[in-house]
Amino acid sequence: MRHSRTILTLAASAALAVAAGFAEADDRKLPQPKISEELTLELKSVEVLSTTMTYLEDGAGDTVLFIHGNPTSSYLWRNVIPHVSDTHRAIAVDLIGMGASGKPDNDYTFADHASYLDAFVEELGLTDLTLVGHDWGAALAWDFARRHPGKVERLTFMEGVLPPAMPQPSYEAMGDEMGGMFRALQDPEQGYEMVMEGNFFVEGILPMMIDRSLGKAAMAAYGAPYQTVASRLPTWMWPREVPIGGSPEGNVQLMDDIRQFMGETDMPVLLTYADPGVLVPPQAVPFYSGLIENLEAAYIGRGLHFIQEDQPDAIGRAISDWLRRN
């Protein structure tokens, strides 16, 4: 319990620091990386469960599947993919209801996303997978590997919605700032106003949790799937899926199952982390290194939560080198 409280306190502190102008600070020891916002790969599409799912693809060989979280899309991985596609087949999927994927009439719970991800992998005939997950995508990656051990060879994760930060015993245990935010997000009226009407995750959380100012091209790419109130439902369901105070029960069990699997698996695992980070700050690394037998941890520099927009080359090099050695 102490681990989860400490990490959520650090997350809240990071968020407040950014809001206070952390991203504008001039205390860098190295120049800020120049991040291209151009997407050079063309989206592909495949029929999945009576709708469509879109994805980016490049390279050949064993498959590395990139899984994003909330409120991003395959676009998040655009500058990481080139480091991997020289030696592997890199695929970055748009989760159902997100990116350019279809928006079927469902609740967009974790279980829904997991079902569509399973079907996507099956439709493309993917085997011998290396999974790369971020945010809720990290939870989806760990859950998929747990349920399909014969299909997954390796796993990489970063800034994941995972133990030890999850589940949380209560809003109060999360601290005033973070607990108050999630209490509001999970409230039917306040959450609807914040996310469905106010597009909170795209226009608020996303730019706040990146250690630079996003340009017009990036904001347009991330905002394109959520131009209407109804289209934003996936971005509101994700915070309501965060297990707090024993609810949702299925996701409390999910996090317990993932924690147990982390302690049992012997597959190669790579954690990439930044400083200060948010969900996985440097202080969280000992938890994972003490739990996961075959873990490597790679520090990729200064960054917040959406570290692919802060340090894509460092992430790509770390994954590429780890793949070469494993």
Is the backbone peptide bond immediately before 167 cis, with ω within 30 degrees of 0? yes
The residues annotated with a catalytic role in the active site are 135, 159, 305
Cα→Cα distances 249→162, 169, 228, 244, Å: 15, 12, 30, 9
